[in-house]
Amino acid sequence: MSLSYTVRTYGCQMNVHDSERMAGLLESAGYTRSATDDGADVVVFNTCAVRENADNRLYGNLSHLAPVKRDRPGMQIAVGGCLAQKDRAEIVRRAPWVDVVFGTHNVHALPVLLERARHNAEAQVEIAESLEVFPSTLPARRESTYAGWVSISVGCNNTCTFCIVPALRGTEKDRRPGDVLAEVRSLAADGVLEVTLLGQNVNAYGVEFGDRGAFASLLRACGSIDGLERVRFTSPHPRDFTSDVIAAMAETPNVCPQLHMPLQSGSDRMLRAMRRSYRSSRYLSIIDEVRASLPDAAITTDIIVGFPGETEEDFQATLDVVAQARFASAFTFQYSKRPGTPAADLPDQLPKAVVQERYMRLVALQEEISWAANRALEGRVVEVLVAAGEGKKDSATQRLSGRARDGRLVHFTPGETHVRPGDVVEAEVTYGAPHHLVSDSPLLSHRRTRAGDASEAGVRRGTVLGLPGFGAPAPVTGGCGETS
C-alpha cells in the first residue's frame, strides 16, 4: 500500500503556493492524500514566521501529534516553511518526534528527506541558504479546477524593520516571462479561468534581468491568453508602483479591477521608522491615479497598529489616510515583535492596552467605510465566479458564494439553477453587508464551464509546465510584511 500524507498550511499566499508543490511532489513520489489529518502516514507543516503566535501554533500542533505518533511508530512529521528556515534544528530539540525539517529554499527535497529519515531512523534537518529549485517548476496538486497561483518571483529586496520575510525567503529571484506565461497558458488550456500572479513584491518584477517594465508587459501578455478570464496579482509595494502598471490594468480586459497595496501606516514618521521608502502623500497619489483609470476598482490594504514609538498623533494620521483612501477592506494587525527584526529592538514598545484600543478604533472606521461602499453597490449587477470552498449551500438560506471581479465575496441564491464551483453567474446585488454582498434575486445568467464540469465530476485536472497537477488559490488575505 502507498503511504498517505496531509499538508497543513499557515501564513501567506506564497505558502499556499508552496504547499501545492509539496503535495505534488509527494504524489509524484507515490504518496496518496489522506482523508483525515491525524490519520496520515506523513504530516507536513508548512509554517509562517511573521507573527508571534506562529511559533505557539506550530509547537502546540506538534505536541498534539506526539501521542498520535507514539501509537503509530511508522508515522512521520515534517516541518517546512519560514519558521523552519528560522528555527532549524531548534525544532527537533523542542519536538524530538519530528522527522524532517526543511526550509523555504529546498522544498523539492521533501520526498528524499522523508525517505532518508525512514532509512536512517533519525531526524533529517536540511536548510539551504539560497534558492536551489524555483518552486513553480515543481509538480503541483491544486485544490480547485477554476483558479491557480502562479509565482513570478520569490524573495524580497526590501528591508522593512518589522518584517522577517527577506531573511527567510532571501533576495528577490525572478522567473523569466516566457516561463511564467507558459504556466499560465497551460492552466488556461486546462480550463482554469482565474490566475493570481504571486510575489513578495510583484511590481519589482524584472529588476533581476534588467527590465523595469516587465510586470506591466506581463499583465498585458496575460490579456492575450485564450480562455483566461481573470488575472489578479499580489502584492505590490508602493515604492515600485508605476503608471505603466496602472495603464496595463486599465487596458487589459481580463486584469481584474482589484488592487491590494499595503499601507502599514499613515504616519510619515512611522513609515520612516518602518523603512517603507514612500510617504502617505505618494501612497494616496497612487490610489488617485488607479481610480482615475479604474473608477470601480476595489482597493484593499494592510495596516499595522502599535508600531514601536507610535503616538496618538501618528495613529490619527493613519485614521486620516484610511478615511481619505476609502479602502474596500483592510487587513489590520496589532504590531507583533519578531526576534531577528530591527523593530524588535526599538525603544518605546507600546502597552498592549493602548494598541488594542487603537486597533478597535481603526477596525470600527474601516467597517463603516466598507459597509458604505458595499451598500452603494446595491442594484448593481456583478459577475460571480462560484468558489469551491465558498460555494457550498448555506443550509438556512440555500445561498451559494463566489467572488466578483473586484474580489468582493458574494452570496447568491441559485434557485432551481444547478450551479457548480467554477461556473460563472450574473446576479443583482440586493444587500451590501460590511464584509460581503448578497443577491436574493433570481440569477440573471448562468454560464457552465469546463472547470464546473470537472468540479461536478469530482475530477481535479491541471498541468504545471507539463507536470501533473491540480489547482486553486484561496482568497487574498493580505500582502507584504505582517501578513507575508
> Which residues are documented as binding site for [4Fe-4S] cluster?
12, 48, 82, 156, 160, 163
Residues in the chain: 484
Region for residue 264 given its phi and psi (left: phi exceeds 0; alpha: psi -120 to 50; beta: otherwise): left
Q: How many CB atoms lie within 10 A of CB 411?
A: 20
Q: How far apart are CA 355 and CA 244, in angstroms?
A: 38
Cell numbers standing for residue 381: 449587477
The DSSP secondary-structure symbol of 3 reads P
Beta-bridged to residue 102, according to DSSP, are 126
DSSP per-residue string spanning 39-84: T-SEEEEEE--SSTHHHHHHHHHHHHHHHHHHH-TT-EEEEEEHHH
* The residue type at 444: L
CB 151 within 8 A of CB 17: yes
Q: Which residues are known binding-site members?
A: 12, 48, 82, 156, 160, 163
Q: How far apart are CA 289 and CA 274, in angstroms?
A: 25
Cell numbers standing for residue 94: 523542542
The residue assigned the cell 472547470 is 451
Cell numbers standing for residue 164: 522577517
DSSP per-residue string spanning 137-153: GS----BBSSEEEEE-E
437: helix, strand or coil:
strand
Q: How far apart are CA 112 and CA 431, in angstroms?
A: 53
Q: How many CB atoms lie within 10 A of CB 352?
A: 10
Q: 89: Cβ–Cβ under 8 A, 6 or more apart, which residues?
A: 101, 125
Q: How far apart are CA 223 and CA 293, in angstroms?
A: 17
Q: 36: Cβ–Cβ under 8 A, 6 or more apart, which residues?
A: 6
Query: In the chain, what is the greatest distance between 2 CA atoms, to the nearest angstrom?
Result: 65
Q: How far apart are CA 197 and CA 231, in angstroms?
A: 7
Q: How far apart are CA 168 and CA 156, in angstroms?
A: 10
Q: Report the candidate in 163, 476, 154, 168 with the shortest Cα–Cα distance to residue 335.
A: 163
Cα distances from 29 to residues 115, 362, 400, in angstroms, run: 10, 48, 37
Cell numbers standing for residue 341: 527584526
